[in-house]
Amino acid sequence: MSLVLIALLPFLGAILPPLLIRAGRNAAAWSAGGTTLLALVGLLTHAPEVMRGEVLTARIEWVPALGLNMNFFLDGLGLLFAGLILGIGLLIILYARFYLSREDPMGQFYAYLLMFQGAMVGIVLSDNILLLLVFWELTSLSSFLLIGFWKHLPEGRQGARMALTVTGLGGLSMIAGLLILGQIAGSYDLSVILTQKDAIQASPYYLVALILILIGAFTKSAQFPFHFWLPHAMAAPTPVSAYLHSATMVKAGLFLMARLWPVLAGTPEWFYIVATTGLVTMVVGAKIALFKDDLKALLAFSTVSHLGLITMLLGFGTKIAAVTAVFHIINHATFKAALFMSAGIVDHETGTRDIKRLGGLRKLMPITFAMVTLASLSMAGIPPLNGFLSKEMMLEEAAHTVWWHSHYLLPALVVLGALFSAAYSFRLIAHTFLGPQRNDYPAHPHDPGPGLWLSPAILVSLVVLIGLFSKAIAGPIVAVASQAVIGDAELPYYSLKIWHGFTPALYMSAFATVAGLFLLWQHKPLERLWNALPRPEAKTIFEALIAMLVRASERLTNALHDGSLTRYAGIFVVFVFGMASYAYFTGNAPAHIKPLGDLGPLAVMGWVCLVVSASCVVLYHRNRLLALVIIGVTGLMVSLTFNYFSAPDLALTQISVEVVTIILLLLALNFMPKDTPIDSTKAQRVRDVVISIIAGVGVGGLLYAVLLGDFSQPSISEYHLANSYKGGGGTNVVNVILVDFRGFDTFGEIIVLGIAAVVIFALTESVLASNVRARLLNREPDQPIAGDAHPMMMVVATRVMMPIALLVGVYIFLRGHNLPGGGFIAGLVVATAFVMQYMASGFAWASARQTFPYHGIIGGGVLIAAATGMGAWFNDLPFLTSAFGYVYLPGLEKFELATAALFDLGVFLAVFGAIMLALESFARYAWQPGIESEHPMDINPERDDPKVSEGEA
């Protein structure tokens, strides 16, 4: 199975549970489990090759110009993490089927879970750091949905927001760090980056990239001081907690550190930042876990501690420490997932997770007791379980590590963390299951059915088997995963066995175990001391920090955004001018080597008219109608300028747009005051004039530099000119660009245009349904209204011009591929023909005779354009690749047919429909009740629907 398909299968499978939930909860569970199992089987088919030391790759070009490609690769480290994600994910799906109640939307839950699973698989298989970043952010978003799945719980919503905030901010930091790393290495592909150790560590940007990347990894893996979000994520359902804390989410940061270990590790900066952070997290998390009464809270802080342990091992920077980290990742995933699911069983069957309300469950829940005991002892590092093996290897490595010039400080702190770990593990067993039975349990305790205990039982079996037969079971995968972590270096000697003789690690382990039992014995007095001591509360600090940021943001926003468009424009123009001036005076401007061209009198006259009209808009802008007329003059001069510079297509488009725009603006101004009030002071107007003059001089200087400078780089226009006819079958380069070379841009533009028209229609509908319409219809006009609503001359002229305009529109459409024209201009021309009918005879008269819906015209245009583009797929060509050929018909000369014409038809319909829908939306405001329609040219006015022609402007 392709690596791409393995990564995408969970996302595809996420569609099924919400659909199949109607067939029952089992159907939803089977679909989620089947998808995960299929991806796991696909992964395992590649396991033999990976175990032989091969690296499998799959490459799909996405945006190669940016270095963004869908590249995946599978090595030992990827196989280990993907196996944990999919394997434990399969057990979680089984567990969740029996854990969630009938009131929980199970289809939705499995959809979220599979999306999260897919994001995690994508992270560990990505060979491109940009693609990895996409999956990284998807884990934050999908975990937000999972943590806040129980929306009715305030703590669930708060935990989800906290997790998203912390991991999201860390993700932003990591994006910057990975981009710097990619720039240093000269590639965004991990397979290339991992070969550039010397260049990366010699770069002056190494420390910056390292810190930014580690912030992302530390926030995701809940390292101190970002650890506080993880315990608050416990408000999620237990299946989510078990999955996040064992094989996913928090392991993503560890994976990133392990993946980049070959190029980032081995420096003093790496050692002191990573090892110190891991050590502090290990000790702090273990100490807090000892005094937590909620089962899931205790396990959450124990997760924080063990994540710190693995981070510390990676921070040591030695090969044997990296091997130990890989081994403990496996062991932690097995016993922690089992413990969380067992805690969920206790909560599910007793009705509480409060340790102080439990105790004495050993005989009432023997199966659960056995699972929790074995998993907890492994977490404490008791032989012969798997946790003991990796703990011994960790202690041995710590015993030989010098930290802050001391041979004893780090081993002492590690032993302190280990004894706290042993103490909370023993407490989990003793205070939950040992002691006398109680008679005040919230519910009668008993072991559940196999649906709930089967998944943790499988994991507990692995805890025991790996401990007893570690070399046979875990040895091969530890070897290949460790080899991927340390890179091309040779694996160090290590032995995955229980007895290593009387070593410093053994003495440290024995002391931690005995001291842990002592802390359990003295737990009550220590707890009283713990509660009496003042200590910072991370949640309170986080909320205070967020509140402070919100207040600061509000003050900044209120200071900058006061609703004045003039102020916004002024800030923007000054900033742009400042940046442009800095670039000009510090950069290398091209020399002015081109001579000024000769200016004829016609060009000078046009330039003067353009300057005068633009200046008049500024001087008379308070008279809105006059300003609109002058804007029309400016648009006309721009059209003539386009024509002067041999751009007839642009000239036709500009003049057509001007006509339609002026009419629509006239409709809008009909409902606004005719004059703009003076809101600014004289000093503000002087300021605005100065800014405008400076900006105008700057733009003029830029144009002067561009027109006279030496920009000798080859232009893409040469390609378009050379390939317009050969590749697109047309001699009108502008039209070929729009419908062929850059057809995708045009396709997006007509969609946006259609959406804009539909939004205008929707806003109009909402206004017409309110009392605003009544105020508009009953308003007193501020100027006299002409008595003749439909002048005879205008009615006659528009009726005569209608077929001529339509014929012109068809002509412009058909000639567009080889001569100036095309679907866009034709749509504007035909729309103008219809607009004239509305203007001359009124909205009601025109609407009564126009029966096709403009919404449908827009949709039809977009569908025709899309269908034309998809037609290329049948010839194994990219979307919107056009084809053309020549046809011979009897009695006619040879003529050309091109698929681009169909695409242009879609453009024509979308443009026409959008303009007419916007016009119709505005025109409906102008209906005046009580005025009868008069249509001088109407042969049979009685046929008009009185409801339609009740009144019109």
Number of domains in the chain: 3
Q: What is the pLDDT of residue 38?
A: 94
422 domain-assigned = yes
Which amino acid, residue 24?
Answer: G
Cα–Cα distance, 840 to 835 (Å, whole number): 9
Which of 456-465, 628-637, 746-755 is the most confident on average?
456-465
| Rounded Cα–Cα distance for residues 896 and 920 (Å) | 37
DSSP 150: S
* Domain match, 232 and 379 both: no
Beta-bridge mates of residue 63: 68
C-alpha 881/C-alpha 744 separation (Å) is 10
For 110-130, write each residue's pLDDT tens digit. 999 999 999 999 999 999 999
pLDDT at 930 > cutoff 50: no
Neighbours of 105 (CB within 10 A): 15
Would residue 603 count as lying in a domain? Answer: no
Answer left, alpha or beta for residue 249, where phi above 0 means left and psi between -120 and 50 means alpha.
left
Q: Is residue 60's pLDDT more than 80?
A: yes
pLDDT of residue 311: 94
pLDDT digits (tens, 9 = 90+) for 661-676: 888 787 777 767 777 7
Region of residue 896 (phi > 0: left; psi between -120 and 50: alpha; otherwise: beta): beta
pLDDT in tens, 336-382: 999 999 999 999 889 888 898 888 899 899 999 999 999 999 999 99
Q: Is residue 350 in a domain?
A: yes
- Both 875 and 734 in one domain: the answer is yes
Query: What percentage of the chain exceeds 90 in pLDDT?
Result: 37
Tokens representing 857 are: 């015209």
Task: Give dist(CA 36, CA 83) in Å, integer.
Answer: 11
Decide: residue 262, CB within 10 A, 0-12 exposed, 13-18 middle, 19+ buried. buried
Q: Which residue has the higher pLDDT, 282 or 577?
A: 282
Does residue 893 sit in the same domain as residue 767?
yes
CA of 511: how far to CAs of 331, 504, 514, in Å?
22, 11, 5
Q: Are residues 241 and 283 in the same domain?
A: no
Indicate if the pLDDT at residue 712 is higher than 70.
no
Nearest to 388 by CA among 397, 396, 398, 378: 378
201 vs 725: CA distance, rounded Å: 53
Same domain? For 106 and 154 the reply is yes
Structural domain contains residue 700:
no
Question: Alpha-carbon torsion 596, 600, 604, 610, what sign?
Answer: negative
For the chain, percent of residues with pLDDT exceeding 70: 94
Peptide linkage before 225 cis (omega within 30 of 0): yes
Does pLDDT of 384 surpass 80? Answer: yes
Residue 188 in any domain: the answer is yes
* Residue 518: CB atoms within 10 Å: 13
What pTM did the predictor assign? 0.72
pLDDT on residue 697: 86
Quick one: how many helices (H) and strands (E) in the chain?
42, 4
Q: Which of 402-416, 582-596, 935-949 has the highest mean pLDDT?
A: 402-416
pLDDT of residue 781: 63
In a domain, residue 739? The reply is yes
In a domain, residue 719? The reply is no
Q: Are residues 247 and 333 in the same domain?
A: no
- Please confirm whether the linkage preceding 366 is cis (ω < 30° from 0): no
What are the beta bridge partners of residue 128? 189
Domain's final residue, options 502, 521, 540:
521
Pair (151, 48) in one structural domain:
yes
Handedness of CA 779, 783, 784, 789 (dihedral sign): negative
Q: What is the pLDDT of residues 756-773, one digit of tens each?
A: 888 888 888 777 777 766
Q: How far is Cα 240 from Cα 588, in angstroms, rounded to an integer?
A: 58
CB 122 within 8 Å of CB 70: no
Two tokens, residue 274: 């990573």
Residues 260 and 271 in one domain: no
Q: Is residue 80 within 8 Å of residue 329, measured between CB atoms?
A: yes
Match 């001579």 to its residue by tokens.
Answer: 595
Measured between alpha carbons, how far is 703 from 596 in angstroms, rounded to an integer? 13
Task: Name the 3-class secondary structure at 188.
Answer: coil
Tell me which of 264, 299, 325 is where a domain ends.
Answer: 264
Domain identity same for 401 and 507: yes
Question: 50 versus 893: which is more confidently predicted?
Answer: 50
* pLDDT of 469 higher than 50: yes
Q: What average pLDDT is seen over the chain?
A: 85
What would the pLDDT profile of 200-235 be if each residue is shown by its tens digit?
999 999 999 999 999 999 999 889 888 888 888 888
Domain range holding 322?
267-521
Which pLDDT score, from 0 to 100, does residue 427 have?
A: 93
The owner of tokens 């975990």 is 143
pLDDT band at 710, cuts 50/70/90? low
Say yes or no: 313 and 223 in one domain. no
Q: Both 258 and 210 in a single domain?
A: yes
Query: In terms of domains, do 201 and 167 share one?
Result: yes
Among 8, 44, 89, which Cα is nearest to 477's? 44
Among 220, 238, 264, the domain boundary falls at: 264
What is the pLDDT at residue 210? 94
Residue 789 has pLDDT above 70, yes or no: no
Q: What is the pLDDT of residues 819-836, one digit of tens each?
A: 888 888 899 899 888 888
Residue 604 inside a domain? The answer is: no
Q: Which comes out higher in pLDDT, residue 205 or 871?
A: 205
Listed range (422-436, 466-480, 778-792) with the worst mean pLDDT = 778-792
